[in-house]
Structure formats: structure tokens, C-alpha cells
Amino acid sequence: MGYDIFLVDVDDTILDFHGAAIAAVQSAFERCSLEWKEEYAEEYTRFNASLWAMLERKEITREHLHATRFPRFLQLLGIDNADGDVINVLYEEYIMTRPKYFCGAKEFLTKLNERGRVYFLTNGTLRIQRARFDAADLWKYAKATFISGEAGADKPAKQYTDYVLERIPDFEKERALWIGDSLTADICAALNAKIDCVWFNPRGKVGRDDLIPTYEVKDYPKILQILRE
């Protein structure tokens, strides 16, 4: 029996969240009359990734992440003439209204729907994710969307996975394929649940010996090839 239940991550798998986030921070800085330097993009990426890793390990809460992210980032940059809370409001406004699909993502989702049932699995704040998905008209590509802010737990927690699988009709693990860009969220969750998984890795990130996916791909056509085989 082939795969016909697709558990698909959204951010940085379907929507370019990384690119949108950098653009959002830059826009917030400029609207606050703060100078934006090219190196800030890389510094923010590292800093924000460290916070989300702490959240996945349950070392901080989502509320703490959102409340402290920009005050701490401004402190990291040595900027003391701006309000981190204001930056956060402007950042969220941009993020919620300007989602961007990766090239080929819509076509990929269309083909997945031709092969079976698609379900979106995403970490994030309920209010923000709903607004972004509305703006992207994303809902039409899936039977259901499971947002961690509604589930009460984030990927890769078992609580989140259980929440999702209990709500998918006629779910059978041997028919399911989990697709996502994050080793520590998507692939870890899939492996823990003993579900076959695809690590979507277009940027060529270095893997981990303790988190080995069923498949690793750099683009959507390779996933479709796997399904044909």
C-alpha cells in the first residue's frame, strides 16, 4: 500500500517563513527609524532559532518567547533607543499579512491532494497562524490544519502528535508520510511516532546521526518521485 495520508509542515516547507521573518524585522526597524544593517539578518536568524530550540525543549513558554524576543534582540545589537514591544507589534503585523509561498509549493500541494489526503501540522500562535493562512488562502489545500497553539503542545511533543492523529479519520501509520523542514520538530516527532518521514532540506543543512529521516530531499519533484516509486 502506498502513502495516501500526508502530514505536511507549513513554515519553511510550504511558506517561506524565514524570508518573511527577516523582511518583517527589517520593516519594523525602518518604521521605527532604526538603521538596518545586512548582518542583522544573520544575527536574528541565529538568535531566533536558539529561542525556538528552547521552546521545543520546553525550557521556555511561547508567551515568554514572544514577550522577550525583541527586547533581548535589541539588547544583543546594543540598541537602546527603541521599544522591543513596539518592534514586536510591527513584526506581527507584517508576518500576518504578507505570507509567501515557495516556488512550486502550490503545484506540489495540488499534486499531493490528487494522491490522497493532506493535513497541515504547524507550530505557532493560533491568532497569528490563522491570519497568515487566511492571507495565503492556504486552507483549501488541506483536509484540516493542526496548530500547536490550539493543540496545547508544540512539535515534537507526543501530546501534539497524539492530538493530531486522534483527529484524522481512518488513520493508519503505514499509509502516512510526514513532510517537514525541521529535524528537531517534524522529523523527531515522526520518528517518535514511527511514521515514515521526508526531511525537506533545500538549503542543505547538516543532518544529525540521532535523527535520520526515511527520506531527505532538496525539492518538491523529488518527493513526488518517491511517491511514484
What pLDDT digit, counting tens, does each position of 97-115 carry?
999 999 999 999 999 999 9
Q: What is the pLDDT of residue 11?
A: 96
What are 25-45's pLDDT values in tens digits? 999 999 999 999 999 999 999
Residues 155, 137: Cα–Cα separation, whole Å:
23
CA 28 centroid distance within chain: 21
Greater confidence, 58 or 92? Answer: 92
What are 163-212's pLDDT values in tens digits? 999 999 999 999 999 999 999 999 999 999 999 999 999 999 999 999 99
Residues 186, 9: Cα–Cα separation, whole Å:
7
Number of Cβ atoms within 10 Å of the Cβ of 220: 22
Please give the average per-residue pLDDT across 135-157, as a whole number. 95
Closest CA to 90 of 24, 134, 33, 182: 24
Q: What is the pLDDT of residue 55?
A: 87
Q: What is the pLDDT of residue 1?
A: 54
Write out the catalytic residue numbers: 9
Q: What is the mean pLDDT of the chain?
A: 95
Q: State the architecture of 17-97 in CATH terms.
A: Orthogonal Bundle (1.10)
Q: Where in the chain is the domain with CATH 3.40.50.1000?
A: 5-15+101-228
Q: State the architecture of 5-15+101-228 in CATH terms.
A: 3-Layer(aba) Sandwich (3.40)
Q: Where in the chain is the domain with CATH 1.10.150.240?
A: 17-97
3-state secondary structure 96-107: HHCCCECCCHHH
Residue 123 confidence (pLDDT) above 70: yes
Please give the average per-residue pLDDT across 117-134, as a whole number. 95
Residue 24 confidence (pLDDT) above 60: yes
In whole angstroms, how far apart are CA 103 and each of 12, 16, 31, 140? 12, 9, 29, 18
Q: What is the pLDDT of residue 145?
A: 97
Residue 10 confidence (pLDDT) above 80: yes
Number of Cβ atoms within 10 Å of the Cβ of 223: 21
Residue listed under C-alpha cell 509567501: 100
pTM over 0.75: yes
Kindly provide the residue ranges of all beta strands, DSSP E only, lying in the chain, ordered along the sequence: 5-9, 117-122, 144-147, 176-180, 197-200, 215-217
